[in-house]
């Protein structure tokens, strides 16, 4: 536990000191949101309030995209000798990665707040009560934690920083095949089946329902996906961290 | 006798390429032991196995009384590794690197310990600069300091002075001597005979994953011809003729013949024995790592 805190401190310092990466992580989500609300919004829902539909989707997209950046941070560690020093210390295998994950969640919580703030300025009108907000925050934190741990696994598997970057890029596309931007029943049958059953759809639907004070029938599915991601990612990452590197 | 580092029949292969072939090592407590060998001899692999970073394919290895495969946690509590590539965090400052390591090693006062090490390794002035701005020598000194936030019983140094300027190299050598005086057992790898000679109590010459010879520096030198006389000829015929009388090691590319020569008498004897075979020129070489190998393998 103490070791994890030490590594959280290290990763937070890293986050704050790579100014360009931090700016990208915070400003890109805002740009994406403005793009959807003002550029696509008119065509996608000419009469409805698309902004209310899409903001929860954007938040999920940004949380996923930002958390996937953990892969790059971990890969960066693996390509320098410093990780060998950590691996010869009598510490828990997960401590280094816990540092990365917690810093990632902190970064993304910050950028999510910013996105939400800009969304309110752009006309987003959530109707959630405090309890709903709390639940929404909890779900988002669980999502960020899950994706950060899974991304850490990819960062450990990647042979280079570029490869880890590609993972982040691919992860940003998954939300497009979900209910994040358009309702799934507007999609062709085959695609609809994929979109309905992939994790982003129940998570986005639940977040939207919480924010707009609607019933959330898929809340348990959403939580189960997040929990599964956290458990699988954490176990996988600890194993991969101790695994001897190829060509060591 | 209980050895601090002990391996039996250690083997390791990467993708079918055998790097270690049945390696046996015995390092006594408080000893400085050098693994001497060229690139690819298996030095780094040996150190990585002993430092719990790789597992061996076969054989056993014990460090500070614990098996590296079955009790890696116990081993990690007693070792420190300074790898070939400086294992420092470039984004953090030197002081932050040291404080982080001190916290991870459960040092009671990390700030105090960091300050001590910065002073000992002459890094006070750079303490609050990011390590990414350090020179190679400074990084290596910080790297060494990071390995010493606690007093490890066993210290692994993988090519500690490779790529260093002479001043930093001397600083590293001084540090090794001081650690030995404080009672640490040190296993270091090197490509340089001189480094092994200066620092090590005993040396093992590693070649193709096997120990070609081991002993004190003096013992090893006795096994190598003191100096080598290299004779250059105008053509293959002369080279062949010279080899018939002198034996030695011919090199058909440079048209030269190397023969052991201990002092002027041997040189004179060799030249006399040539008996009229024309020589282009000659060179006299002091023993090098090359000669140690060639005579031992």
Domain extent listing, chain A: 2-242
pLDDT of residue A247: 40
Q: Which residue of A has its CA nearest to B83?
A: A81
User: Is residue B75 scored above 90 in pLDDT?
Assistant: yes
Q: What 3-state DSSP class applies to A64?
A: helix
Using the Cα atoms of residue B267, residue B272, residue B275 and residue B278 in order, give the sign of their dihedral.
positive
Most A CBs within 10 Å: which of B13, B80, B87, as the mutation test of the A interface? B87
**In this predicted model, which residue has the larger pLDDT, B70 or B249?**
B70
| Residue for token pair 């079918």 | B16
Whether A90 has its CB under 8 Å from any CB of chain B: the answer is yes
ipTM greater than 0.85? no
Q: Strand pairing partners for B23?
A: B10
Q: Cα distance from B39 to chain A (closest Cα, Å)?
A: 15
Q: Is the pLDDT of residue A226 over 90?
A: yes
Q: pLDDT band at residue B31, thresholds of 50, 70 and 90?
A: very high
With a cut of 50, say whether residue A214 has pLDDT above it.
Answer: yes
Is it the case that residue A170 has pLDDT exceeding 50?
yes
Q: How many CB atoms lie within 10 A of CB A162?
A: 10
- Asked whether the predicted pLDDT for residue B46 surpasses 90, the reply is yes
pLDDT over 50 at B71, yes or no: yes
Q: Which of B150, B139, B25 is nearest to B80 (CA)?
A: B150
pLDDT beyond 70 at B76: yes
Rg of chain B (C-alpha set):
23
* Residue A20 forms contact with B (CB below 8 Å): no
Chain A: give the shortest CA distance to residue B72, in Å.
Answer: 8
Q: Does A14 touch chain B (CB under 8 A)?
A: yes
For B137-187, write each residue's pLDDT tens digit: 888 889 989 988 988 899 999 988 887 888 888 888 888 898 899 999 999
| pLDDT surpasses 80 at B82 | yes
Q: Do A88 and B51 touch (CB under 8 A)?
A: yes
Find chain B residues with C-beta within 8 A of A76's C-beta.
none
Give the ranges where B182-249 is alpha helix by DSSP (H).
193-199, 217-223, 236-246
Average confidence (pLDDT) over A145-160: 91
Q: How far is A82 from chain B (nearest CA, A)?
A: 4
3-state secondary structure A171-205: HCCHHHHCCCCCCHHHCCHHHHHHHHHCCHHHHHH
A88 interaction partners in chain B (CB closer than 8 Å): 51-53, 76, 79-81
- Residue B210: which of B24, B4, B27 has the closest Cα? B24
Pair A172, A32: CB distance under 8 Å: no
Contact assignment for A84 to B76 by CB distance below 8 Å: no
Instruction: Identify the pLDDT of residue A99.
Output: 94
- Name the minimum distance, in Å, from the CA of A72 to any CA of chain B: 15
Ramachandran sector of residue A2 (left: φ over 0; alpha: ψ -120 to 50; beta: rest): alpha
Q: In this predicted model, what pLDDT tens digit does every residue of A46-55 receive, in sequence order? A: 666 888 888 9
Give the number of C-alpha atoms closer than 13 A to the C-alpha of residue A91, restricted to the C-beta side. Answer: 27
Tell me the pTM: 0.79
Edge-to-edge strand ranges of the sheet holding B17-27: B17-27, B5-14, B58-63, B66-67
Give yes or no for residue B294 having a pLDDT over 70. Answer: no
B83 and chain A: CB distance < 8 Å anywhere? yes
Q: Looking at the complex, does the CB of residue A17 fall below 8 Å from at least one CB of chain B?
A: yes
Contacts of B134 (CB under 8 A, 6+ apart): B88, B94, B126, B142
């Amino acid at each position: 536990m103490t070791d994890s805190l030490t590594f959280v401190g290290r990763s937070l310092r890293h986050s704050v000191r790579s100014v360009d990466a931090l700016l990208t992580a915070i400003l890109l989500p805002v740009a994406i949101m403005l793009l959807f609300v003002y550029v696509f919004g008119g065509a996608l829902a000419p009469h409805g309030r698309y902004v209310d539909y899409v903001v929860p989707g954007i938040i999920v997209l940004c949380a996923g995209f930002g958390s996937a950046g953990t892969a790059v941070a971990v890969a960066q560690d693996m390509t320098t000798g410093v990780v060998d020093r950590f691996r010869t210390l009598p510490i828990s295998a997960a401590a280094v990665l816990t540092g990365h994950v917690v810093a990632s969640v902190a970064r993304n919580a910050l950028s999510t707040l910013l996105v939400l703030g800009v969304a309110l300025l752009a006309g987003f009108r959530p109707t959630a009560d405090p309890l709903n907000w709390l639940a929404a925050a909890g779900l988002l934190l669980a999502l960020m934690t899950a994706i950060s741990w899974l991304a850490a696994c990819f960062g450990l598997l990647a042979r280079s920083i570029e490869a880890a970057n590609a993972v982040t890029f691919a992860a940003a596309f998954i939300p497009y095949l979900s209910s994040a931007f358009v309702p799934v029943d507007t999609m062709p049958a085959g695609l609809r089946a994929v979109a309905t059953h992939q994790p982003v759809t129940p998570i986005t639907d639940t977040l939207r329902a919480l924010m707009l004070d609607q019933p959330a029938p898929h809340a348990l599915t959403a939580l189960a996906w997040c929990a599964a991601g956290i458990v699988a990612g954490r176990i996988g990452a600890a194993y991969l961290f101790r695994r001897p590197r190829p060509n060591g | 006798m209980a050895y601090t580092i002990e391996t039996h029949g250690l083997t390791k292969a990467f993708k079918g390429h055998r790097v270690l072939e049945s390696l046996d090592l015995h390092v006594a407590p408080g000893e400085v032991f050098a693994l001497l060998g060229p690139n690819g001899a298996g030095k780094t692999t040996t150190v990585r196995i002993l430092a719990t970073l790789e597992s061996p394919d076969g054989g056993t290895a014990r460090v500070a009384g614990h098996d590296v495969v079955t009790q890696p946690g116990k081993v990690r509590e007693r070792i420190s590794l300074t790898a070939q590539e400086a294992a420092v965090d470039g984004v953090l400052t030197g002081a932050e690197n040291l404080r982080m390591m001190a916290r991870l090693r459960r040092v009671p006062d990390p700030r105090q310990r960091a300050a001590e090490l910065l002073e000992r390794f002459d890094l006070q002035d750079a303490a609050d600069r990011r390590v990414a701005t350090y020179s190679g020598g400074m990084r290596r000194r910080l790297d060494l300091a990071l390995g010493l936030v606690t007093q490890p019983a066993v210290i692994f140094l993988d090519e500690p002075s490779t790529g260093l300027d002479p001043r930093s190299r001397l600083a590293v050598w001084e540090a090794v001597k001081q650690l030995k005086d404080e009672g640490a057992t040190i296993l270091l790898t090197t490509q340089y005979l001189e480094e092994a000679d200066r620092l090590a109590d005993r040396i093992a010459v590693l070649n193709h994953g096997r120990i070609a010879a081991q002993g004190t520096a003096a013992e090893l030198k006795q096994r190598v011809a003191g100096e080598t006389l290299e004779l250059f000829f105008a053509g293959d015929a002369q080279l062949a003729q010279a080899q018939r009388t002198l034996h030695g090691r011919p090199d058909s590319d440079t048209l030269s013949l190397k023969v052991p020569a201990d002092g002027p008498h041997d040189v004179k004897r060799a030249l006399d024995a040539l008996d009229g075979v024309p020589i282009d020129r000659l060179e006299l070489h002091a023993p090098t790592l090359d000669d140690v190998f060639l005579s031992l393998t």
